[in-house]
Structure 1
């Protein structure tokens, strides 16, 4: 690989002159510039980004850490972040922690060594060490989706509790009473808030929730399939609120395996509004917001923070940007057939 000294020798100039041409740091005559640019093309020279960043104290790169790259939600989120960064001249280093706090901390260390200009983190569960690790770093930071307690940083997330409430209220308004809830790991704040929304909607209607009506699993199609199968084999719900769309898709499969027609026999609604949910059969009702737009908002928030840091202004307190979810009704939810009979009996 050619070096700056190789280019200088080929052009017959000093390596500092080559640096001035590459970085436009000082005026260079047209003749000398032409010689240097010709040598660069001939040798396929690529300037060192690390060396340039040391001089400029900026790399135009942003680090992104997500907990599960196989989940379409985080793939769409990453695309929105990339779009927002690219539009502003930033590249993104993408890291997948596999919901492993130790792997997450290692990626953070590596990203900091790369001298990134800023960092976006969707954390892998609750990790007490993570808050301290991020607090000790000096890069502008945005926390995405899952809040990290004890950290003064910008936060961008959807209103998880409201989303759980809207999804459950939709099922109640369709006449359902025997409603099951399948959720991700309940110790995570995201799961807990969505379940709280489910409980709030049910409580408002005066409906008692049996202990076995809420089943904990993981935020995946497999987890949703397993949890929904448990509900179908126990309380036989007429409707299910799934903690995310992948769990909802798994629930659709569990229903089909038992010849339970969706939505005639059981309505199913998810959370997130990932693109895949529009193409299941039946198409999955959900609550959420444009995932790409959420990622773009995170990117814009970070870029604004980077600009404020580089200007030398005192660091302002972290901002909290909570996006309100909306109900998206598709084919997987419908009026419960037994609701009319129940009303007549009453």
Structure 2
């Protein structure tokens, strides 16, 4: 691989002159510039990004750590982050922690070694030492989706509680009172907020929830499928609120295997508005905001913070950007017609 000294030798100039041409750091005559540029083309010389970043004290790269790269939600989130970074000339290092706190911490160390300019973290949600680990980093941090307790960092997320309230109220307004809920891991803040929204909507209408009507899963399609199977075989609800779209898609499968027509026999609504939900059959009703927009906002928030990185961050300057969710009714929810003989959810 050609070096800057090789280019200088071919062009017949000093390597500092080559540096001035590459970095546009000082004026160089047109004749000399032409010789250097021709030598660069002939040698296929690629300037060292590491050397340039050391001089500029910036790599124009950020790190993104997500808990599950196979989940379409995080794939769309990553695409949004990439879109936001591209607008500002930044590149992204993508790391998937597989919901493993140890792997998550390992990636954080690697990213710091790469001298990233900033970091976006979607936490696994149950790592007790993550806040302390991130608190020791010098780079600006934006937390997206799941808040990290004890960390003084900018946050970008959906209003989870209100979104779940909107989804549940939608089912209630369609005439459903026998509503089952598939929640994510209750140890995570996201699942807890969405559960609270479900419970609040039910309480406001005075609808009782029988034991067994709330089933915990793991935010995956498989988890949603198993939880819905349990609900449909025991509680027999007329509608299901799934704590995310992947679990809602799993619920669609469980209903189909039992010969139930969605939404005639059972309405199903999810949360997140992932693109895949538009192409299920029937198309999945949901709440949320386009996930890519969330990722883009996180990236732009981080780059804004990088630009102000010389300023000390205090509790009063930490940004809290909460996107308002929207109800997106599609084909998987409809008014309850009482066509399926069911037990009530009330105990």
Same fold (TM over 0.5): yes
- Tell me the equivalent position of 2:134: 134
Secondary structure at 2:308 match in 1: helix
1:11-57 deviations in Å (ceiling 9; x for gaps) = 12221111111111112222221111111111111111111011000
User: Between Structure 1 and Structure 2, which shows a larger proportion of helix residues?
Assistant: 1
- Tell me the equivalent position of 2:187: 187
Matches within 5 A, 1:172-251: 172-251=172-251
Matches within 5 A, 1:1-346: 1-309=1-309, 312-316=310-314, 317-338=317-338
- Counterpart Cα distance in 2 of 1:186 and 1:165: 17
Q: Is the 1:270–1:286 contact (alpha carbons within 8 Å) kept by the matching residues of 2?
A: yes
Q: Is the 1:285–1:333 contact (alpha carbons within 8 Å) kept by the matching residues of 2?
A: yes
1:199-252 deviations in Å (ceiling 9; x for gaps) = 111111122212211111111111110100000111011100001001101000
Q: Is the 1:308–1:315 contact (alpha carbons within 8 Å) kept by the matching residues of 2?
A: no
Secondary structure at 2:129 match in 1: helix
- Counterpart Cα distance in 2 of 1:314 and 1:251: 47
Residue correspondences, number: 339
- Counterpart Cα distance in 1 of 2:17 and 2:57: 21
Secondary structure at 1:338 match in 2: coil
Question: What is the aligned-residue RMSD (CA, Å)?
Answer: 1.5
- Counterpart Cα distance in 1 of 2:142 and 2:99: 18
- Tell me the equivalent position of 1:344: none
Secondary structure at 1:52 match in 2: helix
- Counterpart Cα distance in 1 of 2:103 and 2:51: 28
- C-alpha change, 1:229 and 1:84, in structure 2 (3 Å) is same
- Counterpart Cα distance in 2 of 1:160 and 1:315: 26
Q: Is the 1:285–1:330 contact (alpha carbons within 8 Å) kept by the matching residues of 2?
A: yes
- 4+ runs of 1 displaced by more than 4 Å? none
- Counterpart Cα distance in 2 of 1:321 and 1:119: 16
Secondary structure at 1:233 match in 2: helix
Q: Is the 2:125–2:148 contact (alpha carbons within 8 Å) kept by the matching residues of 1?
A: no
Offset of residue 253 of structure 1: 0.4
Secondary structure at 1:139 match in 2: coil
Secondary structure at 1:128 match in 2: coil
- Counterpart Cα distance in 2 of 1:48 and 1:197: 52
Q: Is the 1:126–1:148 contact (alpha carbons within 8 Å) kept by the matching residues of 2?
A: no
TM-score w.r.t. structure 2 length? 0.95
1:150-198 deviations in Å (ceiling 9; x for gaps) = 1111000001111111111111111111111012211111111111111
Structure 2 unmatched ranges of 5 or more: 342-347
TM-score w.r.t. structure 1 length? 0.95
- Counterpart Cα distance in 2 of 1:274 and 1:52: 39
Offset of residue 294 of structure 1: 1.1
